[in-house]
Structure 1
Amino acid sequence: MLQIRDLNVSYGSIHAVRGLSLQVGAGEVVTLIGSNGAGKSTTVNAICGTISSQGSIQYNGKELNGRSTHDIVKDGIVMVPEGRKVFPKLSVVQNLLMGAFSRKASKAELTQDIDFVFGLFPRLAERKSQFAGTMSGGEQQMLAIGRALMAKPKLLILDEPSMGLAPIVVKDIFETIRIIKKQGLTTLLIEQNASMALSVADRGYVMEHGEIRFHDTAHNLRTQDNVKKAYLGH
């Protein structure tokens, strides 16, 4: 579904992503892990067209590099950005409806989709009229994921969904990712929390200093000594 070959991104004299290649197959959950500053979010921004890059980014055989972010979203690629970026002065329901702005959906369809999100995140249902800016970080992350699902993505990109959240909330977020996985939604998961990411992913890529250092099944990465020592706290 997603095929990246020899991706390079530079900020002035800083070569942030160096010859990166990765692929995400239909129905897979693939994780890109690495420490802060490794180049993970830069890679995501290149996929979504928010920064310039060199190399090939193909989605279902169509080249994305050079296309607008708006067109990329219309093709079915939806990102939950790092830092959540909800609309603070809009309610929960209004934020969810904003996620469906690119769709031509009936009121009944939108209501059904909101009910689906509320089923995943009952806490959002309890706060459906609350302004997003007054919610906790964990609730905002739930809302950001729900808003992305309202767009009916074919490829969901989650950029650091556990960042800054309490461990119990992180557990809830990753349980939701497991539910989404069971429904067959193709997902690219960007994470610093390597242990959690590899527990839910099918395959993983380990990124260091702008380059892919390791690539294997999630199970194999969890058992490799060099990966365990560097990223899993063993």
Structure 2
Amino acid sequence: MLHIENLSVSYGSIHAVRKLSLQVEEGEVVTLIGSNGAGKTTTVNAICGTIPSKGTIHYRGKNMSGLPTHQIVREGIVMVPEGRRVFPKLTVVQNLMMGAYTRKASPLELQKDIEAIYQLFPRLLERKAQLAGTMSGGEQQMLAIGRAIMSKPKLLILDEPSMGLAPIVVKDIFDTIQKIKQQGITILLIEQNATKALSVADRGYVLENGEISFHDTAENLRSQDRIKKAYLGH
């Protein structure tokens, strides 16, 4: 589905990502793990067209390099950004409707989709009239994911979904990621919490200093001593 070859991103003389190559096949959860500053968010920003890059990005056989972000969203790639970035002065329902802005759908269809989001996140139903800016961090993360799903993504990119959340909320978020996968949505998961990421992923890439240092199945990565020592707290 997503095939990236020799992706490079520089900020002046700083090489944030160097000749990165990765693949995400349809139906997979693939995680990109690494420490803070390794280049994870830079990588997904390049995929989504928000920063310039070199190399090739093919999605479903189409070259996406150089396409504007709104066109990339219409092609089916949708990102939940780091830090959630909900619209704070809009209600939960209004935020969810914003997620569907690229779609041509009837009000009845949109309402059915919103009801499906409430099934996934019952807390959002309780908060549907509340301003997003007054919600907790965990609730905002649920809303950000729900808003992205309203775009009907084929590839959902989650950038640091556990950042700043309490452990019990992190568990709920990762349980939801598994439910989203069961709905047939392919996921590229960017995460510092390698233990959680590898628990839901099919495959993983380890990014260090802007370069891929390891790539294997999630199960094999969990068993490698270097990965355990560096990222899994063993």
* TM-score with structure 1 setting the length: 0.99
Residue 203 of structure 2 is matched in structure 1 by 203
SS for the counterpart of 1:35 is coil
Number of aligned residues: 234
SS in 1 for 2:184: coil
- CA shift, 1:139, in A, is 0.3
Partner of 2:128: helix, strand, or coil?
A: coil
C-alpha distance in structure 2 between counterparts of 1:183 and 1:222, whole Å: 26
SS class of match (1:156)? strand
Task: Provide the identity percentage.
Answer: 76
Report how far residue 183 of structure 1 moved: 1.6
Superposition RMSD in Å: 0.4
State the secondary structure of the residue aligned to 2:19: strand
Which runs of at least 4 in structure 1 moved beyond 6 Å after TM superposition?
none
Task: Say which SS state the counterpart of residue 26 (structure 2) adopts.
Answer: coil
Paired position in structure 1 for 2:127: 127
User: In the alignment, which residue of structure 2 is the partner of 1:223?
Assistant: 223
1:162 aligns with 2:196: no
Aligned to 1:50: 50
Deviation at 1:231, TM superposition (A): 0.2
Are 2:114 and 1:111 aligned? no
Whole-angstrom CA distance in 2 between matches of 1:183 and 1:118:
15
CA distance in 1 between counterparts of 2:175 and 2:227 reads 24
Structure 1 unmatched ranges of 5 or more: none
What SS does structure 2 have at the residue aligned with 1:174? helix
2:176 is matched with: 176
Report 1:28-39 matches (<5 A): 28-39=28-39
1:71 is paired with a residue of what secondary structure?
helix
Q: Gaps (5+ residues) in structure 2?
A: none
Q: How far apart are residue 229 of structure 1 and its match?
A: 0.4
Q: Which residue of 2 aligns with 1:84?
A: 84
- For residues 159-185 of structure 1, give each alpha carbon's deviation from its aligned partner in whole angstroms, at most 9, with x where no partner exists: 000000000000000000000111221
Aligned residue in 1 for 2:93: 93
Partner of 1:64: 64
Partner-residue secondary structure (3-state), 1:15: strand
Q: Which residue number in structure 2 is paired with residue 192 of structure 1?
A: 192
Q: CA deviation at 1:65?
A: 1.0
Using structure 2 for the length normalisation, give the TM-score. Answer: 0.99
Aligned position for 2:141: 141
**In 1, distance between residues paired with 2:60 and 2:139?**
33
Q: Report the residue type matching 2:204 in the other structure.
A: G
Shift in Å, 1:129: 0.1
Q: Deviations over 1:25-74 (max 9, x none)?
A: 00000000001000000000000000000000000111111110011000
CA deviation vs aligned residue, 1:118-160 (integer Å, no higher than 9, x gap): 0111111000000000000000000000000000000000000
CA distance in 2, matches of 1:167, 1:118: 22
Once residues 212 and 167 of structure 2 are traced to their aligned partners in structure 1, the CA distance between those partners, rounded to angstroms, is 28
Using the alignment, how far apart are the partners of 2:105 and 2:198 within structure 1?
35
Q: Which residue of 1 aligns with 2:18?
A: 18
